[in-house]
């Protein structure tokens, strides 16, 4: 089964998309085509979008899903005329909040993601954390590990870099990563650069079959990408984790978002700010 879902807003569309994706992820048996349309902030744009939504419904043979954070009442009135199943995020959640708080909300476009003075420090922390993750990626530098919140280790291509960048961008975590090489695995001790920071280390592992598939995309038909080599490295790095009592998780079946939040929960790391 296939359905089309539109995430629309008269602002950035980030809130509508984030909530919409979370809701639709609960329906694994349905294939969704996801379309995000931000800045629907004029009657002309709204009319054009309604036409597209209706055409999509005719083509699919099923009415589209429409998740919106439209604030402007006149734009919302136009959108409501579309032949779609519509979830109006703001009216769904703000109305009961207004009743509970006994006040009216401001209903202002862009309130969630506008860079106000109060958010400038968060913005700077986000940028600084991303720079840290990039500067301390793949073991390129190790002399800044004293300021790291966490140091991810694991074999090549197991997901260390995207996980570090995600934790930096979404939570302000200063995350470094260090690749465990074949030479490192010949030694029963941790690599020298890591030894002073044992308390900050967290390991990633991955199923050998998945690792071989990922490596083949980079270096097809090489020893590096062979299943035998991947099996050997994964087995040895997991032995390293157990030998030094390093916490680790298997990244095979988790998204970057899940890997990151599981690591932070297991390592007891507090986020510096909430996701965007």
pLDDT digit string, tens, across residues 61-74: 999 999 999 988 89
Which of the residue ranges 102-116, 193-207, 210-224, 248-262 would you say has the lowest mean pLDDT? Answer: 102-116
Long-range contacts of range 257-260, CB-CB < 8 Å, 24 or more positions apart?
257/166, 259/159, 259/163, 259/204, 260/163, 260/166, 260/167, 260/170, 260/171
Query: Where are the domain boundaries for CATH 3.40.50 in the chain?
Result: 117-267
Looking at the predicted structure, is the pLDDT value of residue 221 above 90? yes
Looking at the predicted structure, is the pLDDT value of residue 274 above 90? no
pLDDT of the residue at 118: 52
pLDDT of the residue at 126: 86
What pLDDT band is residue 90 in, cutting at 50, 70 and 90?
confident
pTM: 0.72
What pLDDT band is residue 182 in, cutting at 50, 70 and 90?
very high
Four-point Cα dihedral 80, 83, 85, 89, nearest 10: -20
pLDDT of the residue at 276: 57
- The maximal CA–CA distance of the chain, rounded, in angstroms, is 68
- The residue ranking higher by pLDDT, 54 or 272, is 54
Residue numbering of the annotated binding site for ADP: 154-161
Residue numbering of the annotated binding site: 154-161
Looking at the predicted structure, is the pLDDT value of residue 116 above 60? no
**Structure token pair of residue 247:** 């916490």
| Rounded Cα–Cα distance for residues 112 and 69 (Å) | 11
Count of C-beta atoms within a 10 Å radius of residue 40:
25
Looking at the predicted structure, is the pLDDT value of residue 38 above 60? yes
Radius of gyration of the chain (CA): 24
The arithmetic mean of pLDDT across residues 195-218, rounded, is 97
Q: 């270096």: which residue's tokens? A: 219
Q: What is the CATH number of domain 117-267?
A: 3.40.50
């Amino acid at each position: 089964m296939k359905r089309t879902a539109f995430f629309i807003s008269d602002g950035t569309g980030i809130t509508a998309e984030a909530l919409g994706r979370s809701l639709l992820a609960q329906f694994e048996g349905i294939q969704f085509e996801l379309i995000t349309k931000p800045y629907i902030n004029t009657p002309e744009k709204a009319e054009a979008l309604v036409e597209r939504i209706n055409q999509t419904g005719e083509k699919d043979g099923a009415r589209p899903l429409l998740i919106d954070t439209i604030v402007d009442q006149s734009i919302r009135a136009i959108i409501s005329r579309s032949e779609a199943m519509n979830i109006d995020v703001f009216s769904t959640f703000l109305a009961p909040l207004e009743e509970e708080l006994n006040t009216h909300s401001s209903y202002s476009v862009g309130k969630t993601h506008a860079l106000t003075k109060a958010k400038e420090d968060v913005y700077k922390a986000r940028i600084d954390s991303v720079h840290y993750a990039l500067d301390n990626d793949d073991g390129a530098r190790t002399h800044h590990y004293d300021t790291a919140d966490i140091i991810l280790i694991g074999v090549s291509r197991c997901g260390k870099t995207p996980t570090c960048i995600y934790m930096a961008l979404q939570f302000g975590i200063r995350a470094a990563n260090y690749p465990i090489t074949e030479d490192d695995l010949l030694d029963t001790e941790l690599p020298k650069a890591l030894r002073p920071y044992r308390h900050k280390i967290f390991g990633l592992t991955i199923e050998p079959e998945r690792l071989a598939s990922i490596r083949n995309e980079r270096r097809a038909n090489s020893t590096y990408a062979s299943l035998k080599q991947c099996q050997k490295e994964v087995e040895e790095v997991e032995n390293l984790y157990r030998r030094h009592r390093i916490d680790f998780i298997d990244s095979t079946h988790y998204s970057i978002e899940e890997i990151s939040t599981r690591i932070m929960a297991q390592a007891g790391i507090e986020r510096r700010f909430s996701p965007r």
